[in-house]
Structure 1
Amino acid sequence: MRMSKKGAIRLLERAKQKALWKRIRDTSFGYWFRSAVLWMLRIPETAALRDLLLEGREPILKMQYPGENTSRYSVLLLQLPLPANRRHKRIIPLGIAYIASYLLKEMPEVNVGVLDAQCQSLTYHQVVKAIARDKWDIVGFSYWTVQAQFAENLSHAIRSMSPQTIIVHGGVHPTLQPEDALKSADYCIRFEGEQSFVELVQALSKGNPVKDIAGVAYKEDGKVIANPPRPLLKNIDQLPFPAYHLLPIEEYNMPLHVVGGERMPIVGSRGCPYECSFCASPILWQKKVRFRSARNIIDEMKMVIDRYGIKKFHFWDDNFTLNPRYVEEVCRLIVEEKLGIQWVCLDRAEHVNRNRDLLPLMREAGCIGVEIGLESANPDTFIHIHKNQAIGASREAIKNLRAAGLKPLYTCMAFNPGETIVGYYLQKEFLDCAQEGYQWFDYFHPFPYPLYIGQFATAYPGTRFYEEIDDLCLQLIEDAEDRYHHRINSIPYSLLNDIPMRTVQRLNEEHYFIFLDAVRTGFWTAFPGNSSQEELATKLYDVWRFLFPFFKKCDGSLTVRQIALHLSEYLNIPLTKSLRLTAYAVYIFAQLGLIRSAIYYTDYPIKEKDVRVPPARKREILHYLSIVRITRKNLLSDVRRR
């Protein structure tokens, strides 16, 4: 069967217009339909149908007053794309939506526009072209460190084509590194941004000075001037609901954990009282927590249900049950007003345990699961990341969630300071225990089988981890885009100095498939979702070529660092690539029980885990390998020979 790319796009557009895809995308039929279309078009499985729909389409840029840029003071807010953007979920830019809504509340005469380049997977040139279509008095964007270079390049382009446009940067990176952002920005908004940004727009629109606006940084005579931080809002109910009408809501893909279906984010509180060293929250929110009223939250939920027909929510509060009274009021209102919603939330294990009596009420109110910040199962790691929480608390939280009929979800990281080989085996044992007895959690795990990869530990500028990292980890940072939690950007010395030892004599075919699948799933920048099949084949071949010599060197005599050095020379690959592959192989094979540490926890019983890659994923891997003339017969003979 043949189908042109344009024909497929038209077909999918028609289905989308009839809301057909929204009904089927989370079903088994939707999965197979997607796979069939991608196969017919020779497009990698990691590609998204939404990317096909967006290709060749004009970028969506919504405005409060379309076509009135020349007659009104106009402000454009941008969400920037991420590296390997097509691999990333399309997440609603809640911060930008709040800024836009507060600006419209305080200055309703201003024409506010929003361009979400991350959601639409726009390239640099597409973003520049979209901005150039209209006249803007101010262009502002919020970003992380990983997007800093994109922000700088875009700022220079805007200044070149529209010198009168004022450029404002905000978000985590400009807050923590204003001197870096002001290399290309006219102004920075630091910390909580709504009031500071509105006051800046008011001043600039009237030609007034900005020296007395709290939370603003700028340059004067070449020197960075950072005005005092603005006191945090005492009553966050005063903020209007996010300006979702300026976002392309139908383009986001955020299926709710476990059950699927489109979800909307909701923030009932701001801030976190803890000091985890990897997190910017202690700096951004000053370890203070403020709560919205239950009525305000319920009114926002009802607005979303009425306007968009979405009845699934994800609470983005850092610690949902930190304030039991708040939780009880929210849940009772959901029940009393019969909203009929489903939702998940984030929490800390000790809060779940302390407030376990609230869990049945949460379930009655539609909660289906709680994400616990596990981070690591290695006992030594918690000391280094200043989590101040033992693994025992997480085990108790899982028990309490199960007893209440709630799914125990979790977030975890890899390559934290203090981690050793056995920690990854312990992590899999822990997560297997959390999953035990449940159908596999769809829309949550990156794999359709029991192998786990979390975010990669990342030292963001300004955090405590960033200050301590040189003593704890080997950094693999070459530019800003490496400082990203989907790219291995540092490896702890505790792991580099550990000594891997095989627990089985040789790898079998299944082990090869697992690692090849794990690399293409976990290495986002190497497998960004828009590579040609030939590029994918070449990269998988490199991984296949790496695997045997790596496992052969796991004989209990060499450290992880020494193995990486040897493989760099033996395979003639850059040392940073060898370090990343070696560390990741240790991470995966330790989970499977195929290697163990020769120096740590040597008495701990390690058993090989029975994990199998689904046949469809194997066929896809073999298809790519066949492009570089590696067949299943070659693979099997290679495994037996070695």
Structure 2
Amino acid sequence: MISCYELGHQPFHLASLSAMLEQSGYAPVCVDTSIDSLSDEAIHQARFVAISVPMHTAMRLGEQVAQRIRTLNPTAYICLYGLYALLNADHLLEQHTIDAAIGGEYEVPLCQLIAAVEQGKDDGIPGVYSRGHISGPWIQRTPFIVPERDHLPALDRYARMERGTETRVVGYTESTRGCKHTCVHCPVTPIYHGRFFAVPADVVLADIRAQVAGGAQHITFGDPDFWNGPTHALRITRAMHQEFPDLTFDATIKIEHLLKHRQFLPEMKELGCVFVVSAVESLNNRVLQELAKNHTAADVAEAFDEMERVGITLRPSLLPFTPWETLDSYIELLNFFEQGHFIEHIDPVHLSIRLLIPPGSAHLDTPGSSSWIGEFDPTAFGYRWAHPDPRMDELQKQVATLVEQAEQMGSDAVMTFFQIKARALAMKGEKLSAFKAMRQYGERKELPHLTESWFCCAEPTSNQLCARRA
């Protein structure tokens, strides 16, 4: 079992599957290639290889691992599982890079597939897409059991939570699977189609308990939206705080939910929530409508005010390069963060993110999409598209390069922000001194954050991809 990248966290998708495999009598060997090497010996010994691909970066790295395995051990059965597995199955099956792919709730189909391969059969298993059997995602409730983490690298080898001079070891868990929302650009949408499942609270708490025993001082709840079921989320965090009062946490919550359930925010603060990630994406209302985000630019401003009032840091994720963003609205986005003194709330990489359209994307089914979506690019696992304003495509390339260089050099994030703004204004023939703007920005905030930059629906450059775990 191989994990390539899970945003700097100990791989939950190995732990979850390991538990079910061990319950079925197997003894899986787990390798996280983001921090450990995959030996030739391990490859030669494997009869069955399961590669976890819960996000786009993992998918690109996972293909490289699969090709290496196929070269060294041609008879090994290779299965991709996770959010991006089924989306990219056709191309990889055609190239004989893999033998099967599983999307959705993967544990049960994958265990059944291993048993079938042992018997020399691999076709006709519900939820398993192979060359001999076409299957959609497996969207059935999993018999959830506590993830098995004993054979994974120690938590202190992964990302930390930093708050001022304090550094905390981070654990990761999920209280729900899927999402009840259907944002058009989200990879969860073509797999779950608006469905989600709550993981039993006792299973989540047992997983947290095991990670605390392993050194965790902070927990990331990695649900696509922690408040898909706010009552469920509060039940878990209340019990967690009662047992571990010094444990802090973060979660991902929609702007829509932060405002709708704002009455819960003070309690979240008391329970140990130090920051919330929210997929703001853009402040251009046309973009937000095209993405079906169900919030407006005014809602984002209100959410920032509300979170400031409560004392929980809001860390927005952004998707500023889409066909509907304009140069003016991109600059307005930058102005919002500068004028609100919110620059420290974002990682510079978010200002470079370009819309990714993977196979199966809901964008492919939207009216008029054929006018702007081009051919499929197998090397990028997505469809090509060009912005109607060529300046925006050029700006995205410049920003991506600038951010990559800044990360490699350890540059000041606020300076990087103003260098990005200078590039954007230059596209309009205007000038900005990044040094002068940085001096005028004023006192810096020291906000809680993870040491691994968060991004999901991204189209990173190849160098950014390789630098994620540098």
Q: Does 1:287 align with 2:201?
A: no
Instruction: Give the C-alpha shift of residue 612 in structure 1.
Output: 5.5
Distance 1:522 1:499 in 2: 14
Distance 1:423 1:258 in 2: 32
Q: Which residue pairs with 1:116 in the alignment? A: 32
| Among 358, 361, 372, the residue aligned to 1:460 | 358
In structure 2, the CA distance between the partners of 1:181 and 1:283, relative to structure 1 (3 Å rule), is same
Q: Which residue pairs with 2:145 in the alignment? A: 240
Gap regions ≥5 residues in structure 1: 1-76, 82-87, 501-514, 534-583, 599-605, 615-642
- Counterpart amino acid of residue 188 in structure 1: A
Q: Does 1:370 align with 2:276?
A: yes
In structure 2, the CA distance between the partners of 1:114 and 1:585, relative to structure 1 (3 Å rule), is same
Give matches, 1:354-369, under 5 Å: 354-369=260-275
Q: Does 1:188 align with 2:101?
A: yes
Give matches, 1:288-437, under 5 Å: 288-306=195-213, 308-432=214-338, 435=341
| Among 368, 381, 387, the residue aligned to 1:492 | 387
Distance 1:384 1:496 in 2: 21
- Counterpart amino acid of residue 92 in structure 2: A
Post-superposition Cα deviations, 1:15-62, rounded to whole Å, max 9, x if no partner, equal xxxxxxxxxxxxxxxxxxxxxxxxxxxxxxxxxxxxxxxxxxxxxxxx
Q: State the TM-score, normalized to the length of structure 2.
A: 0.77
Instruction: Give the C-alpha shift of residue 410 in structure 1.
Output: 0.8
- Counterpart amino acid of residue 161 in structure 2: L
Residue 373 of structure 1 aligns to a residue whose secondary structure is strand
Does the CA-based 8 Å contact 1:373-1:412 persist in structure 2?
yes
Instruction: Give the C-alpha shift of residue 374 in structure 1.
Output: 0.8
Distance 1:142 1:519 in 2: 27
Instruction: Give the C-alpha shift of residue 494 in structure 1.
Output: 4.6
Instruction: Give the C-alpha shift of residue 597 in structure 1.
Output: 9.0
Instruction: Give the C-alpha shift of residue 241 in structure 1.
Output: 2.7
Distance 1:353 1:337 in 2: 29
Does the CA-based 8 Å contact 1:189-1:197 persist in structure 2?
yes
- Counterpart amino acid of residue 181 in structure 1: L
Q: Say how many residue pairs are matched.
A: 424
| Among 438, 450, 462, the residue aligned to 1:611 | 438
Does the CA-based 8 Å contact 1:89-1:253 persist in structure 2?
no
| Among 185, 196, 213, the residue aligned to 1:278 | 185
Q: Percent identity?
A: 17
Distance 1:216 1:474 in 2: 29
Q: Which residue pairs with 1:79 in the alignment? A: 3
Q: Does 1:254 align with 2:152?
A: no
Does the CA-based 8 Å contact 1:378-1:423 persist in structure 2?
yes
Distance 2:83 2:394 in 1: 37
Residue 161 of structure 2 aligns to a residue whose secondary structure is coil
Give matches, 1:258-269, under 5 Å: 258=163, 260-269=167-176
Gap regions ≥5 residues in structure 2: 410-416, 442-470
Q: Which residue pairs with 1:471 in the alignment? A: 371
Instruction: Give the C-alpha shift of residue 417 in structure 1.
Output: 2.1
Distance 1:465 1:587 in 2: 28
- Counterpart amino acid of residue 115 in structure 1: V
In structure 2, the CA distance between the partners of 1:432 and 1:270, relative to structure 1 (3 Å rule), is farther
Q: Which residue pairs with 1:226 in the alignment? A: 134
Post-superposition Cα deviations, 1:562-597, rounded to whole Å, max 9, x if no partner, equal xxxxxxxxxxxxxxxxxxxxxx99963366x56659
Does the CA-based 8 Å contact 1:368-1:406 persist in structure 2?
yes
Distance 2:150 2:393 in 1: 53
Q: Which residue pairs with 2:444 in the alignment? A: none
Q: Which residue pairs with 1:71 in the alignment? A: none
- Counterpart amino acid of residue 493 in structure 1: P
Instruction: Give the C-alpha shift of residue 472 in structure 1.
Output: 3.5
Post-superposition Cα deviations, 1:589-632, rounded to whole Å, max 9, x if no partner, equal 366x566599xxxxxxx999812599xxxxxxxxxxxxxxxxxx
State the Cα RMSD in Å.
Answer: 3.8
| Among 1, 5, 12, the residue aligned to 1:94 | 12
Distance 1:429 1:282 in 2: 31
Residue 453 of structure 1 aligns to a residue whose secondary structure is helix
Residue 29 of structure 2 aligns to a residue whose secondary structure is strand
Instruction: Give the C-alpha shift of residue 212 in structure 1.
Output: 4.1
| Among 574, 577, 588, the residue aligned to 2:421 | 588
| Among 403, 406, 410, the residue aligned to 1:522 | 403
Distance 2:334 2:374 in 1: 25
Instruction: Give the C-alpha shift of residue 305 in structure 1.
Output: 0.9
Instruction: Give the C-alpha shift of residue 481 in structure 1.
Output: 4.1
Q: Does 1:480 align with 2:307?
A: no
Q: Which residue pairs with 2:117 in the alignment? A: 204
| Among 206, 214, 217, the residue aligned to 2:126 | 214
Instruction: Give the C-alpha shift of residue 252 in structure 1.
Output: 3.6
Distance 1:89 1:497 in 2: 27
Distance 2:127 2:381 in 1: 28
Post-superposition Cα deviations, 1:519-575, rounded to whole Å, max 9, x if no partner, equal 655247xx995xxx9xxxxxxxxxxxxxxxxxxxxxxxxxxxxxxxxxxxxxxxxxx
Instruction: Give the C-alpha shift of residue 150 in structure 1.
Output: 5.8
Does the CA-based 8 Å contact 2:139-2:192 persist in structure 1?
no
Distance 1:299 1:267 in 2: 12
Distance 2:378 2:100 in 1: 24
Residue 30 of structure 2 aligns to a residue whose secondary structure is strand
Distance 1:136 1:454 in 2: 39
Distance 1:339 1:497 in 2: 48
Q: Which residue pairs with 1:637 in the alignment? A: none
Instruction: Give the C-alpha shift of residue 467 in structure 1.
Output: 5.6
Does the CA-based 8 Å contact 1:196-1:216 persist in structure 2?
yes
Does the CA-based 8 Å contact 1:408-1:434 persist in structure 2?
no
Distance 1:341 1:361 in 2: 15
Post-superposition Cα deviations, 1:215-237, rounded to whole Å, max 9, x if no partner, equal 012223xxxx214543421xx5x
Q: Which residue pairs with 2:69 in the alignment? A: 158
Distance 2:41 2:219 in 1: 31
- Counterpart amino acid of residue 141 in structure 1: I
Does the CA-based 8 Å contact 1:343-1:368 persist in structure 2?
yes
Instruction: Considering Cα pairs closer than 8 Å and 6+ residues apart, tell me whether 1 or 2 has the greater RCO.
Output: 2
Instruction: Give the C-alpha shift of residue 496 in structure 1.
Output: 4.3
Distance 2:292 2:270 in 1: 34
In structure 2, the CA distance between the partners of 1:230 and 1:413, relative to structure 1 (3 Å rule), is closer
Instruction: Give the C-alpha shift of residue 285 in structure 1.
Output: 1.8
Instruction: Give the C-alpha shift of residue 151 in structure 1.
Output: 4.8
Q: Which residue pairs with 1:135 in the alignment? A: 45
Instruction: Give the C-alpha shift of residue 368 in structure 1.
Output: 1.0
Distance 1:97 1:429 in 2: 42
Distance 2:101 2:69 in 1: 16
Residue 332 of structure 1 aligns to a residue whose secondary structure is helix
Distance 1:197 1:412 in 2: 34
